Structure 1
């Protein structure tokens, strides 16, 4: 538990009705608190900007900026995803219908991601994926499955889509593909791997467009991303963002297929013209 969380817990009974609204917003939506102004947060919860600032004083901070800084630091230094994942699932252990509960949580996380999604940013990412000369996709460790899925599925829609595999591909060779007409999709979730961040930095230096997909607007990848798509875990393990991540990627690929219709039709005809009977089992 962070200092500000501990302080809220201790002082919550003493808070006014307005302060309790702000406290609940901070505990439920720390990622939003970390990036919005005091005025924006006030409008979000239905109180004045002054009330938000006074709330910060009530927690013994020197003002809004100091509390916001502490929230940002807490988000970037959170517990390991595995620990959070286990703790969250342990709470459901004695509940009936364990599997249904876990799947329902996934559904709620997807709905939450859809509600918070900035469609202009997603559309901008789609445009880059359509018009980029070539696409390099990078996601390591827990993000590799999503990167692999995106590279395979997007590769069905268009040519020149490559997956970065750290165990076989050299970083230099991968970056040699990139130029001002290229796009790097970098998937980076807590804990943020240096290799992915460095790749985004070097890709940016080569003039490539960088699409960052991550779990926080404050994640290190944001420094190098031309387009940043975030899936906030709301205090849960980043492992629990996986269904939301795949859902977002599926939505992106779906838009690419219908927006770039002619190229998709050409690719489909190419596949249909191939003799692939030896690849699939048939009765």
Structure 2
């Protein structure tokens, strides 16, 4: 299938050959793509008094293998366009237990899709990149900073010279000023993608650093400068970004790096355990 961002163009190119009912569907999608993206074929048809089978035939006419593929294209299309307010307005469910079920099921599906779609060779290469880098910079903006901080916390227990680049007293460019060709920069970004993250990656690329991106799609803008790409699905169930699959991917990276460096980090963790006991960092186990 072609890039999902050509959906509107597909509709425009095929408009004259559509039936009268299909033209109604096309116009509804163009004008209400934010709502249509989360409707089943039956619900979309019901909203404009057209049969479900006509909606399915419309998807086929546009070259999609059924309505689910068209719906995926719609969801990809809106990732960069919907504001948080619009996402909130799309959430029609009000029953708390139904919301709980829907969100957990969506996160489970994101993890399943990540397992199926991630490139295993790329994953192995990124583990090697982390181990071999002189210095590691991790950049993530907005909600992605949560993943960046998490990855940075654990990599700092395994490796030296790991820095999480984030807004603060100094600008992000000042923090990454001395990046060089022996360094690794890990850029993390999910819809709505942060332009600042991409700008930092472009600067690092200009300094010949190796770039790894952790993102949700090969058409993510962060992939334009990447040497290695790790895909983790983050399809949203509502106005809140889904970070479950990205965090699982980061967990896997940390474990894989740690096991490669198992002997080297054993002393580090023994020393940490001693410090934690001495200063009472954790509650003691009951006798």
Q: Do the two structures share a fold, i.e. TM-score over 0.5?
A: yes
- 1:98-133 superposed Cα distances (whole Å, 9 cap, x missing partner): 424422322222122212211111111111111111
Distance 1:279 1:198 in 2: 42
Correspondence for 1:126: 127
CA-based RMSD: 3.2
Unaligned residue ranges in structure 2 (runs of 5+): 1-6, 12-21, 30-44
SS at match of 1:265: helix
Q: Which has the higher helix share?
A: 1
1:188/1:214 contact within 8 Å kept = yes
- 1:45-91 superposed Cα distances (whole Å, 9 cap, x missing partner): xxxxxxxxxxxxxxxxxxxxxxxxxx98x356431355336634x33
Correspondence for 1:185: 186
SS at match of 1:176: coil
**Per the alignment, do residues 83 and 126 of structure 1 end up closer, same or farther by CA in structure 2, a change over 3 Å counting?**
farther
How do 1:1-283 and structure 2 match up within 5 A?
A: 3=8, 4=11, 6-7=25-26, 11-12=54-55, 14=57, 22-30=65-73, 74=77, 77-81=80-84, 83-84=86-87, 87-88=90-91, 90-91=92-93, 93-94=94-95, 96=97, 98-234=99-235, 239-274=240-275, 277-280=278-281, 282=283
TM-score, structure 2 length as denominator? 0.71
SS at match of 1:210: strand
**Per the alignment, do residues 17 and 203 of structure 1 end up closer, same or farther by CA in structure 2, a change over 3 Å counting?**
closer
Structure 1 stretch displaced more, 254-263 or 12-21: 12-21
SS at match of 1:204: helix
SS at match of 2:242: helix
TM-score, structure 1 length as denominator? 0.72
Distance 2:235 2:166 in 1: 30
Tell me by how many angstroms 1:263 deviates: 2.4
The count of residues paired between Structure 1 and Structure 2 equals 240
- 1:6-38 superposed Cα distances (whole Å, 9 cap, x missing partner): 43877535469898961325224439xxxxxxx
